[in-house]
A and B are shown apart, each in its own frame.
Chain A
């Protein structure tokens, strides 16, 4: 974007005219659901049902809940016992959902014929014509509270120990400590065998070994400290 900002044109794209933004906010006047929707002045029907949260008193959640038909085109409120009715709905097919910030409800699709016959079915957005009947008047049972939050990763000893990095560190350590005890390095035969295997690993003895090079490089730098520790050791000896 930065090189582009040096563009030849200084052209600004700004909020368009008021007319345009107005058209967006126009209230939707047409009937909602296309196919079966009757004329605007046609019969109006009522969608009824009941929302149930098992184990919770209805007083605790009905005040924050609403019933939205087709995302708020028609709105209903819950009675103190959890039942609801949405009035003045023309014929058509609608998704009815109970909205609550604390409890989760599955939506249902309600079809109303132009004669006022109702049926409820499961919402399926992919196979829209599939009919899995549900009872009508609607019985919307909550499937529990919403889970909004992620679990924090908690720290435990097992997690720490089973970490691959830790495993990679601990296992070689064990080998370093235990192997000399198991294998007798003073045995000349064994030493020969090991040297041979080392030569196998290093096919070209002429090539400078990187690790050797590094140790040389650093041992130069750290020779002073090495001397210091030697000195202190001597001092300790003297003190003895």
Chain B
């Protein structure tokens, strides 16, 4: 019977570890935000007036369609990362968008309403230069792709190649531009830098070279940066040295030199050291470009010019102006200019956008859009115009502005923001979750317990007054509920503001502080996903390394919480940015200057008198800087110095070294482990998380004895990879090193294995994933460390006094999918069983019970193993779609998963970030500490009421019966 019972319990367990979501929970406590990244190309669908499509191609190799009314995604295609998926150009014609991908490797045509491919063609190798539509008699038929040494023409309907021709003298001439005016010729323009321009004319039908000529231009180095096509086939170039424009009509038979036009003759001056930029527009690919164009003379100075009969005339002078753009609707072409609101004071924070008629330069009436910039944001960088014809045939327009801090704002007249997107969040580097502050009433209540007793009567009075405050708060809450209930549902959506921001009763709502690669910081409410504050740090170099630390939590009222961001540039030179994580305000605390490269930073549990934890920064001379460095802190450091250890990793030399702090804040080397770089290189080093709790010291075995865990808080897991990548000889190594003594506690080698390696180190186990080159599959391996059946020193763990090495158990499993990232759940006290969160390339996040990764899983189930709820070993790990915590809300390109404990032991908060951000809660052991949200209140209360009435009735009946008996 006992055996049967335990089988039953095992079965229950197997059913029970569902981290699954119920269908009615969708969107209740989880949210996803999708991003596209920094926009490179943006095109509005002008095919029809009612169209809402905005097509964007971004630096993240993404091609997407946005709804221009709401800013939501219609669809998004995520290509592979790196140069192979890079989008070189985006062109649109009708319903179809043509995209050149991977340095001219692929030519794709997308059906933009459905979001599927029309066709896809592989092009010959060669670096991509430019692409253009080729029209014949007002109809666009072909697309021409210019490579370094060849030009090819493709049918727009099918993608088939019409012809491909090698370019003459392509080793000396840099061909850069392809142009067609819509009259049967294709011009290819090339330049020999500082010598001459080469113009080759091809026949559309067969690719035969019709004409070839060269024009002297000794001042020209690049066509793309200084030349445009204007009017009916006129090449226009700007030369900063002679301060003049040069024109050359391509079709002219006799002209052999370029005609110079001095800028002085137009009465304008180029700003010193500025390369003038020409901007022209070709509204229809089958027709020649317009003869009007912009000339940018300085960073804030544009003029609108017109080329007529070889003469350039000024239409309008825009000084100052930040950004300009052309747009066409129907037959009308307009120019939009962004300029400061007040022409005398060049205040950057309030700018206006006006529309001008392109052919006259006249300002169109009532076309002003006021664009006010975020003072914490960056400058506007790009301007895209969406024009449409109003009913009275005048031109209406909307504006898309991209700023330096990657905010996309879509505006309409007179300055209303239709939507805005924070595209910096597509590249989150690191994040932390910070508890929200208590409200005034909560703080009052908490304060009551902290203070010393004042005597009986004041205590009672205080108690009563705080109860009264609570009652008041509850009443107002009820009133709000009642008030909201009368309003229609859509209005109730309560806005999260700083005023309403306070900790909820289970600490489930937190502030997500996110650091993005562009140097923009965000504070996001974890419950709703609203961005509550943002701060753009200027002068952040690309490829900087960020490390975010919470120095002071919200627990130390009235001291504000404090976060410190360490930014390290490529050389390692660091800078500190200290801010309040709740409000995003920069703190005024003076930060230490860091003149030398920073090797390592560590946050000590020591606190100064303001309750901020001490941050130690170790520079390349092994000198230590403390922040904050008050007298109190230095004194504490001196006392503690002999027990403060840290480690450094130098993966280029394969060296791990351990140091101890001296009293004078210098350091001494204690141990050094060298992993020879000829054989293997260090892939990653991970310790345990500082806020992790382990509840049980051991595991109860089937025979009621206890197997104690080896819980070394100083243990480091070091993963290495062989330098030899041959599939027979490659291996992945794992070392478990004690960070204080440098003792190698365990080492293991996985033969015939290679990258990608992901690993998690927690409690007494390390889980790592590698690629098995022999069997071509991903495998999980788990290492668990145990002390044995008795504990050596059960009160205190010391790395220096641990005579016996731990027992190490290991098991491996097949995982039937590749893996993007790996993380373990974390709860408040560590009572709840652990799950592994596995991010898959498909965008799903699997919550895998740690129970499956237990090296004690027996090959044959015995009574004892059943007693312990061990699942019998099976080589392949299951993946069930019920374990996908994000159901169909896939997270593209998952880069990291952040887990944080909540106030409820059963609940772990999870944020997955990558291209998208997804926030949810997981319950690894189900919700054992709160009533489930499907708890049947009706049933319980009806049963109670029923029982109550039943007792009433039966009492009455019993009375009647007794009475009757008495009369008998």
Contact = CB atoms under 8 A, between A and B. Distances in A.
B727 interface: yes
A237 B966 CA distance: 8
Given A24-B683, A58-B116, A233-B966, 18 more contacts: A4-B796, A7-B714, A9-B799, A10-B604, A11-B714, A14-B600, A16-B600, A19-B651, A20-B682, A21-B684, A27-B81, A63-B74, A93-B776, A102-B888, A125-B777, A126-B876, A128-B776, A152-B24
A5 to B, nearest CB: 7
A75 B116 CA distance: 14
20 contacts: A7-B713, A9-B645, A10-B640, A12-B604, A14-B600, A15-B547, A20-B685, A23-B684, A34-B774, A62-B115, A62-B116, A75-B79, A79-B116, A87-B120, A88-B84, A101-B888, A125-B775, A150-B18, A150-B20, A236-B963
A164 interface: no
A88 B693 contact: no
Interface string A104-147: 10000000000000000001011010000000000000000011
A99 interface: yes
Interface of B: 18, 20-24, 74-75, 77-82, 84-85, 105-106, 108, 111, 114-120, 122, 545, 547, 568, 572, 599-606, 640, 643-652, 681-688, 690, 692-695, 711, 713-714, 716, 725, 727, 739-740, 755-756, 773-777, 794-800, 814, 816-819, 830, 840-843, 875-876, 881-882, 884, 887-890, 934, 936, 939, 959, 962-963, 966-967
Given A14-B603, A79-B119, A233-B962, A70 B818 contact: yes
B122 A23 contact: no
- Residue with the greatest number of chain B CB neighbours at <10 A, chosen from A11, A70, A153: A11
Contacts of B934: 152-153
B348 to A, nearest CB: 34
A236 B959 contact: yes
Given A77-B77, A99-B842, A149-B882, A9 B740 contact: yes
Contacts of B79: 75
A187 B814 CA distance: 74
Contacts of A102: 888
A238 to B, nearest CB: 12
- Residue with the greatest number of chain A CB neighbours at <10 A, chosen from B118, B652, B841: B841
A234 to B, nearest CB: 10
Contact count band on A: 35 or more
Given A72-B841, A78-B117, A13 B888 contact: no
A13 B799 CA distance: 14
Given A34-B776, A126-B875, A240-B963, A147 B888 contact: no
A35 interface: yes
B963 to A, nearest CB: 6
A63 B690 contact: no
A193 interface: no
A68 B643 contact: no
A125 B876 contact: yes
A46 B889 CA distance: 30
A149 B20 CA distance: 6
Given A8-B643, A8-B800, A20-B684, A14 B601 contact: yes
Contacts of A62: 114-116
A6 B600 CA distance: 24
A7 B693 CA distance: 14
A171 B148 CA distance: 91
A223 interface: no
A155 interface: yes
A9 B738 CA distance: 12
Interface of A: 1-21, 23-24, 27-28, 30, 33-35, 46, 58-59, 62-64, 66, 68, 70-75, 77-81, 85, 87-88, 93, 95, 97, 99, 101-102, 104, 123, 125-126, 128, 146-150, 152-153, 155, 233, 236-237, 240
Contact of B688 (A8, A13, A123, A153): A13
A8 B796 contact: yes
A5 B693 CA distance: 10
- Residue with the greatest number of chain A CB neighbours at <10 A, chosen from B114, B644, B890, B963: B114
A7 B797 contact: yes
B683 A13 contact: no
B643 A10 contact: yes
A216 B106 CA distance: 92
Nearest to B934: A152
Contacts of B105: 87-88
A221 to B, nearest CB: 19
Given A150-B22, A152-B24, A9 B798 contact: yes
Contacts of A2: 693
A35 B645 contact: no
A176 B600 CA distance: 78
Nearest to B881: A146
A10 B645 CA distance: 7
A16 B618 CA distance: 12
B814 A125 contact: yes
Nearest to A24: B684
B788 to A, nearest CB: 17
A107 to B, nearest CB: 8
B888 A75 contact: no
Given A23-B651, A63-B115, A77-B117, A30 B725 contact: yes
Given A4-B713, A149-B20, A150-B882, A63 B114 contact: yes
Contact of B114 (A33, A59, A123): A59
B650 A19 contact: yes
Given A87-B122, A126-B875, A99 B843 contact: yes
A35 B859 CA distance: 32
Contacts of A123: 816
B876 A34 contact: no
What 6 A-B pairs have minimum CB-CB distances, sorted nearest first? A13-B687, A71-B818, A63-B115, A80-B116, A148-B887, A63-B75
B684 A16 contact: yes
B117 A80 contact: yes
Contact of B888 (A72, A87, A148): A148
B117 A79 contact: yes
B634 to A, nearest CB: 16
A13 B714 contact: yes
Contacts of B797: 3-4, 7
B124 to A, nearest CB: 12
Given A10-B644, A34-B727, A23 B682 contact: yes
Contacts of B739: 11, 13
B649 A19 contact: yes
Contacts of B20: 148-150
Contacts of A104: 881
B410 to A, nearest CB: 22
B75 A64 contact: yes
A58 B600 CA distance: 53
Contacts of A17: 599-600, 648-651
Contact of B690 (A13, A95, A240): A13
Contacts of B711: 1, 4
